[in-house]
Structure 1
Amino acid sequence: MILFHPYGIVISGGATLGEGVIIRQQVTIGNKGSGKNAEQCPIIGDNVDIGAGAKIIGGVVIGENSKIGANAVVTKSFPPNSILVGVPAKNISKVSD
């Protein structure tokens, strides 16, 4: 894991992060709900690049080598090599080799 400007980052204890994940400031990776109403936590694949202020919430899976834009809100799963932006996040392209 690589942390650029590691301020205001929240990562749920149940989250799974792959190798080489890049996380920037103000990122939240967490479950949805609380207590007995809490849902599963995110699973982040290897080499995912997470932009500043992005939120990844709930039992989602982010495929390896994906890029998540600044301030994106991810509430569903996406395949490897996705480029995700917006609120809610949408897959706008594929990471090229």
Structure 2
Amino acid sequence: MIAHLQNIVISANCSVGEYCCIFHGTTMGISVGTDDHGGCPKLGDGVTICTGAGVFGDIRVADGVTIAANAVVVKSVPDSNVVVGGIPARVISKNAGWSMLKFKDSLK
């Protein structure tokens, strides 16, 4: 789900799981100046990327993760259902409280 279709940049090589939500002003792609050979992010299912966040490099984001507004994610997020935020992003909460995975379950 793309909540607001404005200023979203996603590299063609990125992978986005099912039931993800991407807000406006987000960018996903390679991390320039690293030796990951242009690898792009891989998002699990139910990931939410809030306004203005950036997700860069050959990294993986686990299921149900919420990426806070304006966060810059440059390392993998292996734990599910956490909130990451800051520059560079780190876990700021062990419980997202709400996720797209819960929303998906309400559709059944």
Q: Tell me the TM-score normalised to structure 2 length.
A: 0.81
Q: 1:5 deviation in Å? A: 1.1
Q: CA RMSD in A?
A: 1.7
Other structure's SS at 2:51 match: coil
Q: 1:51 deviation in Å? A: 0.3
Amino acid at match of 1:40: G
Q: 1:33 deviation in Å? A: 2.5
- 5 Å-filtered alignment, 1:1-97, equals 2-33=1-32, 38-79=37-78, 80-95=80-95
- Structure 2, unmatched stretches of 5+, are 99-108
Q: 1:39 deviation in Å? A: 2.2
Is the radius of gyration larger for structure 1 or structure 2? Answer: 2
Q: Judging by fraction of residues, say which structure has more strand.
A: 1
Q: For 2:16 and 2:68, how far apart are their aligned partners in 1?
A: 17
Q: Which runs of 4+ in 1 moved over 6 A?
A: none
**How many residues are treated as equivalent by the alignment?**
94
Q: For 1:30 and 1:15, how far apart are their aligned partners in 2?
A: 7
Q: 1:56 deviation in Å? A: 0.1
Q: Tell me the TM-score normalised to structure 1 length.
A: 0.89
Sequence identity percentage: 37
